Amino acid sequence: MIEIRVGDTGVGMSPQVCRRAFESFFTTKEIGKGTGLGLFISYNLVTEIDGTIELESELGKGTTIIIRIPIRPKKDLIGGDDAERDLLSAAKEDDG
Ligand SMILES: Nc1ncnc2c1ncn2[C@@H]1O[C@H](COP(=O)(O)OP(=O)(O)O)[C@@H](O)[C@H]1O
Ligand SMILES: [Mg+2]
């Protein structure tokens, strides 16, 4: 697995907000500012390639998002089923 951690020193989230943060259309922002789709879409993208996404957050301190994805995903989000084969043959060409 590859682990990617993205952190901030922002406002943080309460435990109640943490629990709902990945729900579609859940936002604490005012109308017109938030869509509530950022973390929902991230969750769907990551789980689509058999990864996991978690968050650690403390109110007033900040938030860290932890994404873990397999080094060799079974499925490529952009290229579909042929993507891995294409990548492998491109890598071979690079090797000469
Ligand atoms: N980095 C962050 N720091 C604090 N709260 C966050 C952070 N990311 C997300 N949240 C909380 O989770 C909610 C949902 O986030 P998100 O899905 O990105 O939608 P949006 O940003 O449009 O509200 C936000 O409204 C906010 O309450
Ligand atoms: Mg957001």
Residues with CB under 6 A from ligand 1: 8, 10-13, 17, 21, 26-29, 34-40, 63
- Ligand 1, pocket-test mutation among 13, 45, 64, most atoms within 8 A of CB: 13
Residue 85 burial (CB < 10 Å; 0-12/13-18/19+)? exposed
Tell me the domain boundaries of the chain.
Answer: 2-95
For 73, the 3-state DSSP assignment is coil
**Distance of CA 79 from the midpoint of ligand 1 (Å):** 29
Q: Tens digits of per-residue pLDDT, 51-86?
A: 999 999 999 999 999 999 998 867 666 666 666 677
pLDDT at residue 96 above 70? no
Predicted TM-score (pTM) of this structure: 0.81
Residues with CB in 5 Å of ion ligand 2: 38
Q: Does domain 2-95 have CATH number 3.10.20.30?
A: no
